[in-house]
Amino acid sequence: MPENVSDPIPAEEAAVAPAPSETADGYQVRLGIFEGPLDLLLFLIRKKKIDIHDIPIAAITRDYLGYLDRKEQINLDREAEFLFIAALLIYIKSQMLLPRETDLAEQDDPRRVLINRLLEFQKIKAACSILRDKEEDQLLQWKRNFLPPLPGESELDFTEVSLFDLAESFFLLMKRRAAADTRVIRGRDVSTEEKMKELVGLLRDGQVLDFLAYFATQESLEEALVSFFCLLELIKSRQAVAVQDELFQTIRVWLRKDARRAGHHE
Amino acid sequence: MSSPLKDVLESLIFISQEPLTVDRMAAVLEGTPGEEIQAALDELIQGYATAGRGIQIVHTGGGYIFSTHPDHDRSVRKLLQIERKNKLSSASLESLSAIAYHQPVTQAEISAIRGVDSTYTLKTLLDKKLIKIVGRKKAPGNPLVYRTSERFLQYFGLNSLDELPSEDEIGKILQEEKSSEG
């Protein structure tokens, strides 16, 4: 149905679409996408100027499936949900095709369920646009309770990392090592105990350790693994802090202040 | 002419980090009737509005709080080093609005209204403290039941759920959308 799919995006979708931007591939305009199946259905109904209470199911289903096929204007993470509504449309159509002895009362209309959902959704969407205006008004009025601490020049916005971030950096490192094509004939044995001492020693004087750089110095997979476990152990026992400034950047490690002090007393 | 009551209210609101309710003010100013407080408040608010000040007292979240004037948004953001305002995503806003109108409500019910799974969106709304869990539904699986929070009201400058967009306002929007396409 080319005449249906080549239409411009609806005004409200266009409003949320980001401004066109220059990219390496030339001039690109990102079209707004339909976040959910009900968004798409409502759009089709409005576009065809259909009375929401009397939807021609066959025509709407055809248009709807046309959009699903093109996949460009729908949020692909939600494909299953789009398909679910497609199935519902087809089911409704099949119900309407069944021969009946008496005419249907309005509340028995197979479309009833869908219509009610659409009406409700439409209401929610309209309320959203009002709330969005209110949000914008409010965001212009700063209150003292919303003040974040003023970030100083030297202060960085740390995010403490989770075990998964650590593991991810570790695997990243392992991959790099594998790519480096080094061959270890027989690595020396490394004990956790020794490694732990080495790590704490490195960190003791308030030193900050670059996680990726440190592992790069490890001679073998075994040694790298042992240091990784040691690091996890230090974090678990709350002796060390691991911090990542941003996703996919290196993780920096240092000893907590009290752990450093305890270390000195030993 | 300044009245002592007006001055003390100004101090109380100034020092509050959350919207201060008339009840709280009355509790602090023992013996002062609520109507008197309300009258002084109205006068105070009016004073700020007419004098063309950089700050104002706003009625939100069921109470009163100082805020900066909208005209100075840019300068304030520069001071706070906030480049962009973080608006709610459209998925968040949609879920929030569904919760607001249908509360108390479960995740499954919200997902059904929106036609998309809303588990993740609810999690972010919980993190932002715009909604809260108020219990579990006595239904198979005992799902969690959600409501909008006090912070939700403040966020949109509302004083109670009665101030949510009404059927009339919504009807008007729908009408406008229809005519704009015609």
User: Closest residue of B to A38, CA-based?
Assistant: B115
* Cα–Cα distance, A119 to A208 (Å, whole number): 59
- Residues in chain B within 8 Å Cβ distance of A145: 17-18, 65
Task: Transcribe chain B into DSSP letters.
Answer: ---HHHHHHHHHHHH-SSPBPHHHHHHHSTT--HHHHHHHHHHHHHHHHHHT-SEEEEEETTEEEEEE-GGGHHHHHHHHT--S--PPPHHHHHHHHHHHHH-SEEHHHHHHHHTS--HHHHHHHHHTTSEEEEEE-SSTT--EEEEE-HHHHHHTT-SSGGGSPPHHHHHHHHHHHHHHH-
- Do B9 and B40 belong to one domain? yes
Cα–Cα distance measured from residue A32 to residue A18, given in angstroms and rounded to the nearest whole number: 8
What pLDDT score does A215 carry?
Answer: 75
pLDDT tens, residue by residue, A223-263: 888 888 888 888 888 888 877 766 666 777 888 766 655 54
**Cβ distance of A135 and B156 shorter than 8 Å:** yes
Q: How confident is residue B161, by pLDDT bands cut at 50, 70 and 90?
A: very high
Structural contact between residues A133 and B156, judged by C-beta atoms closer than 8 angstroms = no
* Least confident interval from A63-67, A81-85, A218-222, B85-89: A218-222
- B168 domain residue, yes or no: yes
Is there a single domain that holds both residue B44 and residue B112? no
DSSP states of B143-159: -EEEEE-HHHHHHTT-S
CATH number at residue B110: 1.10.10.10
> Residue B169 domain-assigned?
yes
Last residue of a domain, one of B78, B99, B117: B78
Summarised one tens digit per residue, pLDDT across range A32-53 is 577 788 988 988 888 888 888 8
Q: In the predicted model, is pLDDT for residue B95 greater than 90?
A: yes
> Which chain A residues are Cβ-neighbours of B70 within 8 angstroms?
137, 140-141
Residue A38 carries which side chain, given as an amino acid letter?
L
In order of their start, the domains of chain A are: 2-98+108-142 (no CATH), 159-265 (1.10.10.580)
When pLDDT is cut at 50, 70 and 90, the band that residue A155 belongs to is very low
E strands along A103-207, which residues? 159-160
Q: How confident is the model at residue A107 (pLDDT cuts 50, 70, 90)?
A: low
Give the pLDDT score at A131: 94
Q: Which of B53, B78, B103 is the last residue of a domain?
A: B78
Q: Does residue B175 sit in the same domain as residue B94?
A: yes
- Structural domain includes residue B85: no
Report H helices in A25-70. 37-47, 57-70
B99 with B24, same domain?
no
Task: Give domain status of residue B84, yes or no.
Answer: no
pLDDT band at A8 (very low <50, low <70, confident <90, very high): very low
Min Cα separation A121/chain B (Å): 6
B129: in domain: yes
Q: From CA A95, how far away is CA A110, in angstroms rounded? A: 6
- For residues B171-176, give the mean pLDDT: 86
Domain that holds residue B12: 4-78
Question: What count of CB pairs under 8 Å joins A to B?
Answer: 120
Tallying the residues shown for chain A, one arrives at 266
Q: If you average pLDDT over residues A162-169, what whole number do you get?
A: 74
Asked if A81 and B91 come within 8 Å (Cβ–Cβ), the reply is no
Query: Is A142 within 8 Å of B80 when comparing Cβ atoms?
Result: yes
- Residue range B29-82, pLDDT digits in tens: 988 888 999 999 999 999 998 888 899 999 999 999 999 999 999 998 888 877
Taking CA–CA distances from A140, the nearest residue in chain B reads B70
ipTM above 0.85, yes or no: yes
Place of tokens 């869908």: A114
Residue B83 domain-assigned (yes or no): no
Long-range contacts of B6-9 (CB under 8 A, 24+ apart): B6/B40, B6/B43, B6/B44, B6/B47, B9/B37, B9/B40, B9/B41, B9/B44
In 3D space, the residue among B18, B34, B91 whose CA is nearest the CA of residue A39 turns out to be B91
- State chain A's mean pLDDT as an integer: 73
What is the pLDDT at residue A248?
64
Nearest residue on chain B to A75, alpha-carbon basis: B116
Of B56, B65, B101, the CB nearest to A124: B101
Q: Are residues B72 and B94 in the same domain?
A: no
Comparing CA positions, the residue from A251, A237, A176 lying closest to residue A209 is A251
Chain B residues close to A142, C-beta within 8 Å = 67-68, 73, 76, 80
Mean pLDDT over the full length of chain B = 89
Residue ending a domain, choose from B78, B106, B140: B78
Instruction: Assess if residue B150 is contained within a domain.
Output: yes
Contacts of B58 in chain A (CB under 8 A): 141
Q: A93 is written with which tokens?
A: 């159509």
| Chain B residues within an 8 Å CB radius of A38 | 114-115
Q: Which residues of A touch B177 (CB under 8 A)?
A: 12, 46, 126
* Contact (CB<8Å) B101/A123: yes
For residue B70, how many C-alpha atoms fall within 13 Å in the half-sphere facing its CB?
9
Q: Are residues B65 and B138 in the same domain?
A: no
Tally of domains within chain B: 2
Asked if residue B172 is part of any domain, the answer here is: yes
